[in-house]
Structure 1
Amino acid sequence: MILETVKIKNFRGYKTETIVPISNLTAFIGKNDAGKSTILEALEIFFNNSLVNCEKGDLNTTADNNKIEITCVFTDFPADLIIDTANPTTLQNEYLLNLQNKLEIKKVFAATAAKPKEKVYIICNHPSVDNGNDLLTLKKAELKQRAKALGIPTENYNGNVNSSIREAIRNSFENLELEETELLVDKEDTKKVYDTIKTYLPLYALFQSDRQSKDDDKEVSDPMKIAVQQALSELNTELEHIKEQVRIKAIDTANRTLNKLKEMSPDLANELIPEFKTEPKFDSQFKLTIKSEEDIPINKRGSGVRRLILLNFFRAEAERLRAQHQGNQIIFAFEEPETSQHPDHQEMLIQAFMELSNTGNSQIILTTHTPALAGLLPLDSLRFIQKNGNDRTIELGTEDVFEKIADTLGVLADPISKNASGILLIEGKSDVTFINHTATQLKNGGYIAHTFVDKRIALVPIGGCGNLKHWTTLRLIEQFAIPYGVMLDSDLGTNEEQQNRDKIQELRNNGIKAYLTRKREPENYVHIDVLNLPAGSTFNFTDTCDAKVLIAAEKTSRKQNVLEDYWTLMTTEQIREVERYDDNGTERYEFTEMFTDLLSIVE
């Protein structure tokens, strides 16, 4: 399932019901005490209520009642659910979806005890007609009795399947009188419905910026718990087989016991029915941790090291999920990921977040105060939170909001020379080296007439296209009133490929000269000869692999320096060789043609 919206009411600074849209990547930005962390912790209470517990003191101080409400709305729910002993049904057939045909679950905590207990409601467009509005609360015998009382022929339903009896009863009414209902799921059979739904809910992992340091530090243990849960979800078929075999053997033993009991007390034996009360919790049986070679617990290391481990957990997940679509949806909530991290690591973490958010398995929610990190975030991910008296407002998606965020955090465009005649927006600083060396070599070979330096076209790194840094840079370009073009990595073969294509097409539709590399990124064009590999080496890389990682590993160098170290060694002939491609029988040269067009923005 995918979390689409969270609604918060009477929880800390959120008095009136506040609706918070959630996307694949969602970033909350605002001043201190604006209410950013409150949203992350409200979700922790909704999904887990363990790392953060709902407490009496969480009630908004000006609330007009004692009920804290946290509601989540989901899409992409399973087509079939099994809520009645191996017999599938659907949320639609059971009238458990809201007016927008989405799954809406509300948890209410009455702040009358120190640690309030939750009451769970499904907000749904549900039958209100007499004898048709309580079917999910009835057991099989009660459903049969209801069907009989309504005069429904037994041939209209399967008497061994609750969902079949419920469907026959509902079909017997001319008008079910559907209305929005808060369906309390506390009774035996309605609780079974919710227990089934819970197995499909996303896993939620919250990583806080200020935590106690202890042996089972959540910062390290939670990713490992998620790893165990993921492993179990991918082995679900095998686990279901084990559970079924255990059930069969255990019930067989119970039945043999009852048969013997019948010999001594038939009446008592007839009253007893073997039944499993709870599902086994396999995840609690596995403990996974990480230690250093010196057997030093991770929590005894510095906070930067601990969070660096967490950073690489996300990077590993991005790599794994890029190629896989298995297990439950996971929501990673990260409070201030920049804490205790070098700026290079912050950028790597954001890249991992963006990759994860595009896998189809994961949603990322984060808060940040750092201009450099916020500048890398896509515009559609940004949520600006402000205090509004005793309440909060959340804004997104407009030019005014982007300006507020840029002003609040101090996100500035990179400086542009006042004598610049044009601007080329690119992704990173290493791309400056790539473009300048390529242009120089192609000009020396007579393949292009000018370099970007010749035409005073400034190369400005802005990260990806469509992020906050991009937006602020464009505002600056508008003030300069000079032409600009865009050149970005295609990320060919990754989950970002289509997104990048769409962004470039949008720019082209607006009359901007915009290009993507044909291969994944500039490092994929490095000529194998400049690597000076030993004789007999079989090292190679493809157009879609992570070439900078492979080259760095082969040459024991830093991946960030691959272009500086090796592209600058490329000759004109080598550049022409790697840029050549076949276009339906026509030989073409990618950078020669691309640069010629981009250079034409300045007459």
Structure 2
Amino acid sequence: MIIGILLKNYKIYGGLNYIPISTKHRFSAYIGDNGVGKSSILEALDTYFNGKEWNIHSGASLTDANTPYISTVHLLDKESLKKITKNDESCFKKMQKISDLLWDFDISKLSPNSTEAKILIEELKNIDSVYKDTHMLLISGVGYKHSIINVYFSSFDSHIAKLFSEELGGFKFNSQNEEENKKFRIYFGNYNEYIKNYYSYIYIPVEAGVEEFTKLETQNMQKLMGKDINDEIIKIITTKNLDTINKSLNSFVDDLEQQLSAYTYKNGSNRKNISMNELTQKVIELFFSIRTLHKIDANNKNISAKSLSSGEKRQALIDISTALIKSQTIEDKEIILAIDEPESSLNISKTFNQFQKLLDLSTENLIQTLITTHWYGFLPITTSGNAHFLSLNMLDENKTSFKFRTFDLYNYREKIKQNSTNKPMPDEIELKSINDLVQSIIASIKSEKPYNWLICEGSSEKIYFDFYMSDLIEKENLRILPVGGSKEVQRINNYLILPLNEKEGINGKIYCLVDTDKIQINFNNGNSDNIIAKRLFNDEKQQDTLLVKIDGGDRSQVTEIEDCLNGELFIETLRSFQDKKINTILDQPGNIRTDSNSYFCFDIRPTDKKDIKEFFKKNNGFRKIEFARKYVELAQKKKYEVPKFIDEIIDFFKLKHFKN
């Protein structure tokens, strides 16, 4: 994956700038006002990977010391690199040497002016050390003047030159003389190309037209399919068939020339045969040019992509891109999908769905996804990703300062609660993110085919509900939305109440669900029949999980989703983790009864209950997600009784009317 970019004199980015992407997540979004350089980041990567036209900063000097360049920082799997470099052991060893340098780089070696490089080195410290044995940390760049063969290492040019000084005959890097440095840059041979070939970079700019973009013969479509159309045609035609075609045609021309007596058919080069490349290009031109994209509507009619609205065209681009990427068997390429403003021209009711597809692509299919956006509704729903907030200051007429504020969206609000030193997002972003999301929800429940929503606290709940409510997701357009804690559920509920009180045109339903905590939170109730708010509560008398009113009532039993599951399956899932403390508890005679839910199935000491709670806090809370996935995996292999509270929520969405 790409960690970040050192970008010099490209488009809006004058001078040298470090642009963060991610050290851990596959989803990264760039947000901020128009004109702050969001799209330039994706365009620069398109120039680096796909050789697209350079867009030089208007005030850039093209002297040797100021040559514009794009240098990218990568975390690459060693085994995959071995396959790509194949027999080029020399280059692989150079890569290993550079990687060792970057993994253990001494920041004190950088000059006081190397601000951007220092930011990068600090970023690299956030990479999990587990990758050090299996992955290389590499920097690779192309320069404006010599982008084909020359490698640009940005601020690390001199350090890497020193690393290879002996092999280069005592060479010393001179930033002021590009001609002298050429020997150093050429020394790395195919280094750049190998790293580029590690990836498949697909860029969808905001102005991309669906008709042109989806032509099967285009580079982007072939990357999305994971197939080279030219190679596929060669497989069909085969060299043997081409030889037969050439032989037969030459025979035909020979016969014709005999009849023509003093005339003959020749070309300037005296070539007789057509090449495979010439034939495949003609096949592509003739066969694929007569096939254009159509959409099959609800009435099974074919509608040309040209006839779709601008919003439908944008939706089609993302639908096609995500579907094709998901269908690929990804073996020798790491895919990066970059999209400029996925929400562009879309009806607000469709926006959430577009973003959910991209979030799923990054988490489920492990595709690195980069977006720019003005729709902030994804912020409360993203549990694995980064948001980079861009702003700029004009220092003078010719110089601009860029500022990146990066937010790790995993358990973001929980971390703020736990650590007061964590700076929250700017108020305007927080407010806009909730407004955007609420508008999207309201628009979706008013549509002809309305969405229904289950709004819950965290990602682990979503995993359980996705499994238990899979039919509703498909048949009732149910969307399960984890928002990062009970206060966020409360906030969204309270924002929704006012527009829902209007009642007109409301066709979908919303269920807000929270845990039972010691501290009470209050929800606005309103008078709408389309929204309900409940909390999970384990009742001692009934020895089961109930769905009770949020406000007031018994709060004696703190209840989380892990306390409300099928007891037998819960125990089986716990055992699968092979945790010594947990197994000791489970193996004690008389400690377990599997005919109850996951909380009441235990008859254990308070200290043992505490150990189970601590088990779920491991891996910074990620253990809950791991457990949920394993629970669902085991549930798919054997039939277990569905918890009653799940059936009660399902009934809410199936009923036409209900009483709160």
What's the TM-score once normalised by structure 1's chain length?
0.52
Q: Identity percentage over the alignment?
A: 14
Give the aligned partner of residue 87 of structure 1.
87
Question: Matches of residues 226-245 of structure 1 in structure 2 within 5 Å?
Answer: 226-228=223-225, 230-232=226-228
DSSP 3-state at the match of 2:144:
strand
CA distance in 2, matches of 1:68, 1:132: 27
DSSP 3-state at the match of 2:13:
coil
DSSP 3-state at the match of 2:19:
strand
Q: Give 2:40's match in structure 1, choosing from 32, 38, 47.
A: 38
CA distance in 1, matches of 2:228, 2:19: 31
Q: Is 1:320 equivalent to 2:322 in the alignment?
A: no
CA distance in 2, matches of 1:189, 1:280: 35
Q: Is 1:392 equivalent to 2:413 in the alignment?
A: no
* Contact 2:141–2:152 (8 Å) recurs in 1: yes
Q: Give 2:429's match in structure 1, choosing from 396, 400, 407.
A: 407
Give the aligned partner of residue 206 of structure 1.
203
CA distance in 2, matches of 1:48, 1:195: 11
Give the aligned partner of residue 59 of structure 2.
61
Give the aligned partner of residue 14 of structure 2.
15
Give the aligned partner of residue 105 of structure 1.
140
CA distance in 2, matches of 1:512, 1:43: 34
User: How many angstroms does 1:193 deviate by?
Assistant: 5.1
Gaps in structure 2 of 5+ consecutive residues? 103-135, 243-276, 395-399, 409-415, 417-421, 439-455, 463-479, 482-509, 516-531, 571-576, 578-612, 640-648
What letter is aligned with 2:433?
A: V
Q: Is 1:303 equivalent to 2:300 in the alignment?
A: no
* Contact 2:210–2:314 (8 Å) recurs in 1: no
What letter is aligned with 2:138?
A: L
Give the aligned partner of residue 367 of structure 1.
372
Aligned CA-pair RMSD: 6.0
* Contact 1:209–1:336 (8 Å) recurs in 2: yes
What letter is aligned with 2:48?
A: F
User: How many angstroms does 1:33 deviate by?
Assistant: 1.1
User: How many angstroms does 1:15 deviate by?
Assistant: 1.8
Give the aligned partner of residue 147 of structure 1.
none
Give the aligned partner of residue 165 of structure 1.
none
Q: Is 1:49 equivalent to 2:43 in the alignment?
A: no
Distance verdict in 2 for CA 1:295–1:185, change over 3 Å = farther
Gaps in structure 1 of 5+ consecutive residues? 111-115, 135-175, 247-278, 416-422, 459-482, 493-497, 499-503, 526-540, 546-560, 570-603
User: How many angstroms does 1:362 deviate by?
Assistant: 1.7
Give the aligned partner of residue 332 of structure 1.
337
Q: Give 1:121's match in structure 2, choosing from 138, 151, 156.
A: 151
CA distance in 2, matches of 1:431, 1:517: 25
What letter is aligned with 2:222?
A: K
Q: Give 2:636's match in structure 1, choosing from 516, 528, 542.
A: 542
CA-to-partner distance for each residue in 1:341-387, whole Å, 9 max, x for gaps?
A: 34453323323222222356520001111232333234751111110
CA distance in 1, matches of 2:326, 2:563: 21
Q: Give 2:353's match in structure 1, choosing from 348, 351, 358.
A: 348
* Contact 1:485–1:513 (8 Å) recurs in 2: no
CA distance in 1, matches of 2:165, 2:294: 61
CA distance in 2, matches of 1:281, 1:406: 58
CA-to-partner distance for each residue in 1:478-534, whole Å, 9 max, x for gaps?
A: xxxxx99677999x9xxxxx9xxxxx9798369999966977699999xxxxxxxxx
Question: Matches of residues 409-424 of structure 1 in structure 2 within 5 Å?
Answer: 410-412=432-434
DSSP 3-state at the match of 2:344:
coil
Give the aligned partner of residue 73 of structure 1.
73
Give the aligned partner of residue 216 of structure 1.
212
* Contact 1:185–1:194 (8 Å) recurs in 2: no
What letter is aligned with 1:227?
A: L
Give the aligned partner of residue 155 of structure 1.
none
What letter is aligned with 1:307?
A: R
Q: Give 1:508's match in structure 2, choosing from 600, 607, 617.
A: 617
CA-to-partner distance for each residue in 1:426-447, whole Å, 9 max, x for gaps?
A: 6546654899899899979934
CA-to-partner distance for each residue in 1:397-449, whole Å, 9 max, x for gaps?
A: 4866642275376234999xxxxxxx966654665489989989997993448
User: How many angstroms does 1:210 deviate by?
Assistant: 3.0
Paired residues, what number?
A: 410
Question: Matches of residues 133-144 of structure 1 in structure 2 within 5 Å?
Answer: 133=168
* Contact 1:219–1:310 (8 Å) recurs in 2: no
What letter is aligned with 1:298?
A: A
What letter is aligned with 2:38?
A: K
User: How many angstroms does 1:89 deviate by?
Assistant: 1.0
Query: Which structure carries more relative contact order (alpha carbon 8 Å, separation 6+)?
Result: 1
CA-to-partner distance for each residue in 1:6-32, whole Å, 9 max, x for gaps?
A: 111112222232212223111111112
Distance verdict in 2 for CA 1:332–1:18, change over 3 Å = same
* Contact 1:424–1:485 (8 Å) recurs in 2: no
CA-to-partner distance for each residue in 1:85-139, whole Å, 9 max, x for gaps?
A: x7341544235753316332222225xxxxx9766315373577788318xxxxx
Q: Give 1:291's match in structure 2, choosing from 270, 273, 294.
A: 294
* Contact 1:122–1:185 (8 Å) recurs in 2: no
User: How many angstroms does 1:395 deviate by?
Assistant: 2.1
* Contact 1:206–1:334 (8 Å) recurs in 2: yes
User: How many angstroms does 1:69 deviate by?
Assistant: 1.6
Distance verdict in 2 for CA 1:562–1:45, change over 3 Å = farther
User: How many angstroms does 1:207 deviate by?
Assistant: 1.4
Question: Matches of residues 442-457 of structure 1 in structure 2 within 5 Å?
Answer: 446-448=542-544, 451-453=547-549, 456=552
Give the aligned partner of residue 260 of structure 2.
none
Distance verdict in 2 for CA 1:456–1:94, change over 3 Å = same
* Contact 2:512–2:534 (8 Å) recurs in 1: no
* Contact 2:537–2:547 (8 Å) recurs in 1: no
Distance verdict in 2 for CA 1:520–1:38, change over 3 Å = same
DSSP 3-state at the match of 2:549:
coil
Distance verdict in 2 for CA 1:320–1:95, change over 3 Å = closer
What's the TM-score once normalised by structure 2's chain length?
0.48
CA distance in 2, matches of 1:517, 1:207: 33
CA-to-partner distance for each residue in 1:243-295, whole Å, 9 max, x for gaps?
A: 9xx9xxxxxxxxxxxxxxxxxxxxxxxxxxxxxxxx99999986585234677
CA distance in 2, matches of 1:107, 1:431: 52
